[in-house]
Amino acid sequence: MSDQQETQSLLQETAKVKIRLSELRSAAALPDADPGPLLDAALVELELAVAALGSTGEDRATAEARSEAAESERRMLRTVFQDAPVPLFLLERDGTVRRVNRQAGALLGSSAGYLTGKPFPVFCDMATRAAVGSHIAGVFHSGQRRRTRVRFLSKHGPVFADVTLARIWVSGEPEPLVVAATAPSTREPAAQEPAPEVPATDDAVATVVHRMDVLATATGMLLEDDSLTESVAVRRSARLIAAELADWVIIDLEQNGALRRQVVIGPEDERRTQIARMLENVHPGSGSLPALVYDSGQSVLQAHIEDLRTLGTTQGDLPVCGLIEASSLICVPLDDGERTLGTLTLTVSGEQGPFDLMDLGLLERLARNLALVIRTGRRYRRRMEVTERLRAGLLPRELPAIPGTEVSARYVVATRDGGFGGDFYDVFPTAAGWGVALGDVCGKGEDATAVNAGARHGIRILGRWNAKPDEVLSMVNETLLDQERFVTAVMACVEPRDEGLAVMIGSAGHPPAVLIRRDGLIRTLSGGGIPLGLFADDFEVGVESLDLEPGDTLFLYSDGVVESSDAQRDRFGHERLIEILAAHAAGPIADMPLAVEHALIEFCGGELRDDVSMLALRVTADTGGRTAVSGSAV
């Protein structure tokens, strides 16, 4: 037979094949179609085509005739393969997909380009994956057909199917190939009530809306967390993602240069809860996917997992992906825009279908938001640590004992803390006895801290050599004139008497001190004066002298007490303060400032807008004894 006649014969045979395949497709569309014979028929057609190809082209005379015949061969094989009424996969010896037809792509919800080059078993669930690999090897070596039931991991969800495997020889191939023909399983579990059909467009819209809802919910949850606690934000995010998008969620964060596992959340049953606890101690190794994503800063989407060790192994050398039955995963870096803080990994087992690029885009946005919250929380925590250290330096570690007195102090940080600075109090020895000081700096922040420290230590140092509060405050005023901030302060110089104390009080624009007599009489002192740091020539100090007898109490406080307001903007005021002091006049000295603090917090509904400092000094009956002292910062 000449090359031209041979080519013509192939073309005629191709036309006949098309007719038979069309009849097979029609038969497959019937409601009661039996998939078994259809699979066999499709394989028969493929084998006939391969046999026809093998019998041609042995003695072609010219390259041109060879090319024409080869094109005819490819046309026949393509016709048989692509137009078969069932999904067909052409597999190499190791199970790698060489080619798929349109039906196979539709079955798995993926393009032929994506399926090609991947191991065929990865498109099956964990329960049938190993068996499928064994069947492929068996068919390749024995040449005998085999049929097995598998559960495909389609993009649209799991699909039960019967797969028939057959070996074929193709002209020009050094080794045989394996064809996998599939059809819906006739042994599928008892069907539930069929769900109503949803148009593809509506389904796509619903998917997009769901992703947007998840993103909005996660973002709102992170923004509403006032505590800025890293562990809380990480665990809440993991729980939300696990509930909406994945079977398993794993979050790893960098600590001291290495990734450390923080959260593992999976399905909530006893066995998987134990697995989650075990995996929380399995930190990512250097070759694991989370480590690679962390080092590169690049996201990875594996719609079908090929290597079950991609997330590492347990201490018993069990692959993590196999343990959690992961068939598809996404791993994205927790990147805050400045550096990578860790990784976020999601896996599914096939019930939802493999992850796609839309899932990857959503996870990258969620990861960015979580990373920003982590960064903000860490910065806030570092700032608070610095703030607490600075505050500790602005307050005395412990109050010294003044003979014949009891002293109690409280420092309460504003609930809405706008920075450090705030108030100060101090007790220190003077040339004639003891000095007591309390002040309030205008504003907060680093500048306020510097002024705070200058005022407190200036009063302490100058007061050690000068027992006149007006002169001490005047000298401190001169040192603060170039600070562009002012300070209100009160200083009391205390000198012991045979019974009681002689007190001289100087006020520089500070709220007036309160004197509580042992008989319950309460008097507000005159106060007055000009705040420190405002004027050089017109500066003056309000001065008042008084005697304290055993049982009398002197109460100093900052304006954060009387200026505090509730939700209706009503001020706590001086009268409420007087009532509380009167109610605790006969009680322990430590109860007095503590009672004021509790009343303030209750009045403000827990929203204290300014720092508060208080100091109470009471003369005891035993004028020769040592002072009982208490002081604290809250």
Distance between CA atoms of residues 487 and 286, nearest Å = 57
pLDDT tens digit string along 489-547? 999 999 988 888 999 999 999 999 999 998 889 999 988 999 999 998 889 999 999 99
For residue 154, the cross-strand partners are: 157
Residue 62 has pLDDT above 50, yes or no: no
pLDDT of residue 32: 57
pLDDT of residue 219: 64
What are the distances in angstroms from CA 89 to CA 48, 83, 94, 226, 404?
Answer: 17, 13, 13, 55, 97
Phi and psi, residue 352, nearest 5°: -95, -5
pLDDT tens digit string along 398-430? 888 888 899 999 988 887 655 555 788 999 999
The model's confidence at residue 175, banded by pLDDT at 50, 70 and 90, is confident
Candidates 273, 204, 261; CA nearest to 234 is 261
The model's confidence at residue 191, banded by pLDDT at 50, 70 and 90, is very low
Query: Which range (213-227, 391-405, 507-521, 565-579) has the least confidence?
Result: 213-227
Candidates 427, 428, 425; CA nearest to 411 is 425
Question: To which H or E segment does residue 576 belong?
Answer: helix 573-583
3-state secondary structure 382-396: HHHHHHHHHHHHHCC
506/246: higher pLDDT: 506
Residue 632 has pLDDT above 70, yes or no: no
How is 440-493 classified by DSSP, letter by letter?
EEEEESHHHHHHHHHHHHHHHHHHHH---HHHHHHHHHHHTTTSS--EEEEEEE
pLDDT of residue 449: 77
Considering the chain, what percentage of its residues have pLDDT values greater than 70?
Answer: 75
Residue 59 has pLDDT above 50, yes or no: no
For residues 358-378, average pLDDT: 84
The model's confidence at residue 230, banded by pLDDT at 50, 70 and 90, is confident
pLDDT of residue 30: 57
pLDDT tens digit string along 461-499? 999 999 899 999 999 999 998 887 899 999 999 998 888
Distance between CA atoms of residues 180 and 99, nearest Å = 11
pLDDT of residue 190: 43
566/433: higher pLDDT: 433
Q: What residues have CB less than 8 Å from 582, skipping those under 6 apart? A: 516, 520, 522
What are the distances in angstroms from CA 352 to CA 156, 207, 308, 363?
Answer: 7, 12, 19, 16
pLDDT of residue 608: 82
pLDDT tens digit string along 547-564? 999 999 999 999 989 988
For residue 412, the cross-strand partners are: 612
Judge contact between 609 and 414, C-beta under 8 A. yes
pLDDT of residue 211: 56
Q: How far does CA 610 lie from the centroid of its chain?
A: 31
What are the distances in angstroms from CA 587 to CA 164, 406, 553, 577?
Answer: 92, 12, 11, 16
511/18: higher pLDDT: 511
Distance between CA atoms of residues 40 and 309, nearest Å = 37
Query: Which range (61-70, 212-221, 388-397, 563-572) has the least confidence?
Result: 61-70
Considering the chain, what percentage of its residues have pLDDT values greater than 90?
Answer: 28
pLDDT of residue 63: 43
pLDDT of residue 56: 47
Q: What residues have CB less than 8 Å from 612, skipping those under 6 apart? A: 410, 411, 412, 414, 423, 557, 558, 560, 561, 564, 597, 600
Neighbour count for residue 407 (Cβ, 10 Å): 24
Residue 225 has pLDDT above 80, yes or no: no
pLDDT of residue 625: 42
Query: Which range (17-26, 386-395, 579-588) has the least confidence?
Result: 17-26
Q: How far does CA 377 lie from the centroid of its chain?
A: 10
Judge contact between 105 and 89, C-beta under 8 A. no
First CA to last CA distance, the chain: 103
The model's confidence at residue 380, banded by pLDDT at 50, 70 and 90, is confident
156/582: higher pLDDT: 582
pLDDT tens digit string along 293-352? 999 999 999 988 888 899 998 888 889 998 998 989 999 999 988 899 999 999 988 777
49/315: higher pLDDT: 315
Q: How far does CA 28 lie from the centroid of its chain?
A: 51
What the block records as the tokens of 219 is 């973002």
Query: Is the CA virtual torsion 229, 232, 238, 243 positive or negative?
Result: negative
Please state, rounded to an integer, the average pLDDT across all residues of the chain: 79
The model's confidence at residue 593, banded by pLDDT at 50, 70 and 90, is very high
Residue type, position 153, single letter:
L
